[in-house]
């Protein structure tokens, strides 16, 4: 199937859970755990989808999202943003920055799987 997702997340339990459910669904899951060089990882892996945490060491998910959207080659990549912060201002900032979908933690595994499938048309 060759569907690739890059999970940019620094919480081991979330990395493990999302990796498990997506791998079981046929996705090739790569992970990255900091914001410093997250764009290097996106450029190197060229995923079909990025799952992006908001609060990362080194750089926020909002900044990374803006960099993805500004990149001519990667700008159309679907991005699912995950956050423990559910404030309206965070959702508005994500939408303004061009997020494809926004989900708050904690989340149901089935909801993540449904979101990923709907974002890539599978």
- What angle in degrees, to the nearest 10, is found between the helix axes of 61-70 and 88-97? 20
The ranges assigned to domains in the chain are 3-120
pLDDT band at residue 64, thresholds of 50, 70 and 90? very high
Say what the pLDDT of residue 88 is. 87
Of 29, 77, 84, nearest in space to 53 by CA: 84
| pTM exceeds cut of 0.85 | yes
Residue 74 confidence (pLDDT) above 90 = yes
Task: Over range 33-44, report the average pLDDT.
Answer: 97
Whole-angstrom CA distances from 81 to 1, 2, 34, 65, 100 are 24, 22, 15, 9, 8
Say what the pLDDT of residue 1 is. 53
The architecture CATH gives domain 3-120: 3-Layer(aba) Sandwich (3.40)
Say what the pLDDT of residue 84 is. 84
Residue 65 confidence (pLDDT) above 90 = yes
Say what the pLDDT of residue 87 is. 82
pLDDT in tens, 81-99: 998 877 888 889 899 999 9
**Comparison of pLDDT for 105 and 37, the residue scoring more:** 37
Task: Over range 89-117, report the average pLDDT.
Answer: 92
Apex 62 CA angle, 75 and 3, nearest 5: 45
If you average pLDDT over every residue of the chain, what do you get?
94
Residue 69 confidence (pLDDT) above 70 = yes
């Amino acid at each position: 199937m060759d569907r690739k997702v890059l999970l940019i997340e620094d919480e081991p339990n979330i990395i493990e859970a999302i990796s498990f459910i997506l791998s079981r669904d046929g996705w090739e899951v790569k992970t990255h755990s900091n914001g410093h060089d997250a764009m290097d990882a996106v450029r190197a892996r060229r995923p079909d989808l990025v799952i992006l945490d908001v609060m990362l060491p080194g750089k926020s998910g909002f900044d990374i999202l803006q960099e993805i959207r500004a990149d001519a080659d990667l700008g159309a990549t679907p991005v699912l943003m995950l956050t423990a912060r559910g404030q309206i201002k965070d959702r508005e900032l994500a939408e303004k920055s061009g997020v494809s979908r926004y989900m708050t933690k904690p989340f149901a595994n089935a909801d993540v799987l449904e979101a990923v499938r709907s974002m890539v048309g599978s």
